[in-house]
Amino acid sequence: MLDLAGDWTLSDESGVHVVPFRLPGDGVTALQAAGAIADPYWGRNEYDCRWVCEQDWVARRAFDHPGGAADLVIEGLDCVAEVSVNGVRVLSAANTHRRWRVRVELLRGPNAIEIVFRSSVREAAARQAAMPFYVPYQQVNGPIPFANMLRKQQCDFGWDWNIALGQFGVGAVRLEAAIPARIEAIFVDQMHRLGVATVRVRAVVQCAAAGPVVYSFGFAGQEQQGHLATVAGENELTLEFEVADPDLWWPNGQGKQSLYTLDARVGPTQAAHFTSRRIGLRDLALVSAPDASGRSFGFCVNGRDVFAKGANWIPADALNGRITQTSVRGLLQSAVDANMNMIRVWGGGRYEPDWFYDLCDEMGLMVWQDFMFACHLYPSTPGFLAEVDAEVRDVVGRIGHHACLALWCGDNELIGALNWFPESRKDRDRYLVSYDRLNRTIEAALRDLLPGANWWPSSPSPGPMAFGDAWHDDRSGDMHFWSVWHEGRDFDHYREVKPRFCSEFGFQSYPSMSAIRRFAAPEDMNISSLVMESHQKNTGGNARIAETMFRYFRFPVGFENFVYLSQVQQSLAIKTAVTTWRSLKPHCMGALYWQLNDTWPVCSWSGLDHGGNWKLLHHAARHFYQPVLVTAVPGAEGIKLMAVNDRLQAVKVAVRAMAVDMAGRTRLLAEGLADVAASAEPLCVIPFGDLRADEMLAYDWQGSDGTSDRDVFAPRPYKSYDLVPSGLRVEVDGARITLTTQALALFVAIEADVPGRFSDNGFAMLPGQPLTLSFAPEDETARPAFTFRELHSATYGPQ
Ligand code: BMA
């Protein structure tokens, strides 16, 4: 193998710019590194960098080779590109989501390789012009038009949280020896019966010529060897392994993540192809069946119904060249640390690299995998569908064996999109048929390769062949519940729906100060400065954040407190939704909020800042996703304290409910105790009249499994309480921070001036209940300075 990544040269069509290009990487990052453009994430530089994607670019490098035939392998080739070797065109490609392998003849000694990247802006426009009829794209998710024409990451042309740079580049490029037989793909079907797992391995073997090919496969201590009679081209080898008493793979929170290794070898010893896969043995079923309410939706793992807790995943950076395994591992670890067990790889980004799914296997993060279509309408021309068919086969063959892979979903929001454009409203038949052709192409290719795959046609969807409004109808399938954010409804509206599985719902905040400082100068630190507005891609988003503060809080004092309060209300919104819906278990069996991470520093729905810092939402998630939880659910009779248990065993949960006034004085109102099986049970009800106007509800609880937590619930908007100074006192002893308070302190939050992680953040405190936290700086030698905030100090003062 000869890795051709490394130092290339990049030049533009006019020859004005000639810069070093480090592969794997993207052109925008290379141009910035060479000083040809400014940092696109800083200030309003984005708009000065747009010209890059309006040009063609050429990448070149030379390499030495002993000569003869080799396979040129390219991954993540973004997007419309022509590859030449020694001046001979060897590949024309237009699909970033596929892997390319072409046989090339090389010279002995120096060789030259060249990749021409066509301007994706021009290509997209040309393809739209050549369509038999106009195929609309969603402008709010595409400041650069017609991403829907190209098989590249759809958010590259901008999204309502993404910078629009139309990036181009390469994920991997290498030469592999031309060998007689190669394993192209491995499909794994698992059949589980009591105490035995049968693993059927289907290997696709590509052969240069017909004839017997020797093979040897090893799995779980068993070896299978033999000769496969082959034809030239594609061949299939099927083997079965039986594993008695399998060590099962479980999602995070349910058990261990045991993984077995499958070793596969084909071909003669001198030129064999060897590959391996890690396989988790588990029986993972999508359970969706008609019932009294409509149609259920949930996941059953190894016979256990598992409530899915998690968030939506978008690409780890707007520019692929900046994504590292280390940073992605950090983001996924943060998901695990917040008690998540599922992420949804959303359809406007990319199928992630193999190592991403390895990490999810290891961490017990189930993956809801969308196919990469989002929010726009798409062509259904034969050429486009053929490209989609090849893409689906490629990706399913690449990642389909992973234990984490829980669901394949046709697309993101394409059914809703049929109603978003004048053209498709006017001629719905045409666009619906076109949609169905695309959707069937995807489903057919998936089922052809993995007949037993968990398939869901679209997200959201009420179910197969149902085209209803899964944004507002909560009876069936998965739901995207956006009324609170996009329609400006209040947080209580989360309590008025009973989703079966909510796969998207979100509320925005400003990024943390540490992220803002990476794109704004002090003079731009104003909530409506042009720089802040350019880092808000959802029209009216900043106004919605401010308007929500008017609804619930007294207005914050100064920019930094505004940023803080935006994160407080975001965490409150999502906590309201998740805790309510968890309390509906098993009617509701999943909540994946929008969105886990950010692609660049921007005002967005994310719980993690760009770079991985935890916003207050992510800290809240660690609490609201904990396996055993007590939550306050207001209803007609009062405030019901509900216990939720996601563990296998029943847990005895004891709760104490107290009234707390602003000075932090408490009085006991009620106690409750219940044996909570794997469901949700009421512990006690506090009539609203039991709380005086100046009191909130404080409660703490303990579970027989050793878990415990406490919280404060405000039955009325926070602005209606006359908070008093909290008298927060802080003692810092190295990494340990001890906090005490003299009065009720709400949403106590700490910020550090260096990157790192707090053990907790954004919590309520009562007098006489000191709290000790820790801070783990990324750089262990750092001496951080801390800033403390809480609701009173942030919102009481001159405006
Ligand atoms: C959704 C997603 C994204 C979008 C988000 C916020 O429905 O699928 O398209 O970024 O809402 O508007």
Q: Choose which residue among 137, 154, 160 to substitute to test ligand 1 binding: the one with the highest number of ligand atoms within 8 A of its C-beta.
A: 160
Q: What number does the ligand 1 atom closest to the CA of 161 have?
A: 10
Which residue in the block uniquely carries the two structure tokens 């063609």? 56
Q: What percent of the chain has a predicted confidence (pLDDT) above 70? A: 100
Q: Which residues contact 362 (CB under 8 A, 6 or more apart)?
A: 257, 259
Tokens of 121: 């802006």
199-202, long-range: CB < 8 A, 24+ apart: 199/240, 199/241, 199/242, 199/243, 199/279, 199/281, 200/238, 200/239, 200/240, 201/238, 201/239, 201/240, 201/241, 201/262, 201/264, 202/236, 202/237, 202/238
User: From ligand 1's centre to the CA of 569, what distance in Å?
Assistant: 19
Position 311 pLDDT exceeds 80: yes
Closest Cα partner for 165 from 518, 605, 537?
537
pLDDT digits (tens, 9 = 90+) for 49-63: 999 999 999 999 999
Predicted pLDDT at 678 = 79
User: From ligand 1's centre to the CA of 55, what distance in Å?
Assistant: 29
Query: Is the CB of residue 537 less than 8 Å from the CB of residue 158?
Result: yes
Burial 706-721 (b: 16+ CB within 10 A, else e): ebebbbbbbbeebeeb
Ligand 1 lining (C-beta closer than 6 Å): 141, 159-161, 348, 374-375, 412-413, 480, 504, 594
> Band of the pLDDT at 798, cuts 50, 70, 90?
low
Q: How many CA atoms lie within 13 A of 82 on its CB side?
A: 10
Predicted pLDDT at 660 = 98
> Band of the pLDDT at 559, cuts 50, 70, 90?
very high
pLDDT digits (tens, 9 = 90+) for 13-45: 888 999 999 999 999 999 999 999 999 999 999
Provide the mean pLDDT of the chain. 97
Tokens of 208: 């240069």
Closest C-alpha residue for ligand 1 atom 4: 160
Q: What number does the ligand 1 atom closest to the CA of 348 have?
A: 9
Phi, psi of 425, rounded to the nearest 5 degrees: -70, -40
Predicted pLDDT at 673 = 96
Position 448 pLDDT exceeds 80: yes
Q: Angle, to 10 degrees, between the axis of helix 354-363 and the axis of helix 325-337?
A: 30
pLDDT digits (tens, 9 = 90+) for 511-528: 999 999 999 999 999 999
Which residue in the block uniquely carries the two structure tokens 């993060």? 365
719-725, long-range: CB < 8 A, 24+ apart: 719/552, 719/553, 719/554, 721/662, 721/694, 721/696, 722/662, 722/694, 723/662, 723/791, 723/792, 723/795, 723/796, 724/662, 724/663, 724/792, 725/792, 725/793, 725/796
Q: Which residues contact 518 (CB under 8 A, 6 or more apart)?
A: 41, 42, 601, 610, 611
Q: Choose which residue among 138, 162, 313, 413 to substitute to test ligand 1 binding: the one with the highest number of ligand atoms within 8 A of its C-beta.
A: 413
Distance CA 353, CA 350 (A): 9
Predicted pLDDT at 797 = 73
User: From ligand 1's centre to the CA of 416, what distance in Å?
Assistant: 12
pLDDT digits (tens, 9 = 90+) for 231-284: 999 999 999 999 999 999 999 999 999 999 999 999 999 999 999 999 999 999
Could you give the angle at the alpha carbon of 615 between the alpha carbons of 610 and 621, nearest 5°? 120
Which residue in the block uniquely carries the two structure tokens 């660049």? 600
Mean pLDDT, rounded, for 763-791: 96
User: From ligand 1's centre to the CA of 375, what distance in Å?
Assistant: 8
Query: Is the CB of residue 63 less than 8 Å from the CB of residue 200?
Result: no
Distance CA 707, CA 300 (A): 25
Q: Which residues contact 786 (CB under 8 A, 6 or more apart)?
A: 730, 732, 737, 750, 751, 752, 753, 775
pLDDT digits (tens, 9 = 90+) for 149-172: 999 999 999 999 999 999 999 999
Closest Cα partner for 689 from 673, 707, 669, 672?
669
Give the CA distances from residue 267 to residues 69, 210, 223, 324, 356, in Å, rounded to whole numbers and listed in that order.
18, 12, 16, 34, 29
User: From ligand 1's centre to the CA of 411, what distance in Å?
Assistant: 12
Mean pLDDT, rounded, for 598-615: 98
Phi, psi of 373, rounded to the nearest 5 degrees: -140, 130
Position 679 pLDDT exceeds 90: no
Predicted pLDDT at 567 = 98
How many residues does this entry show for the chain?
A: 799
Closest C-alpha residue for ligand 1 atom 12: 160
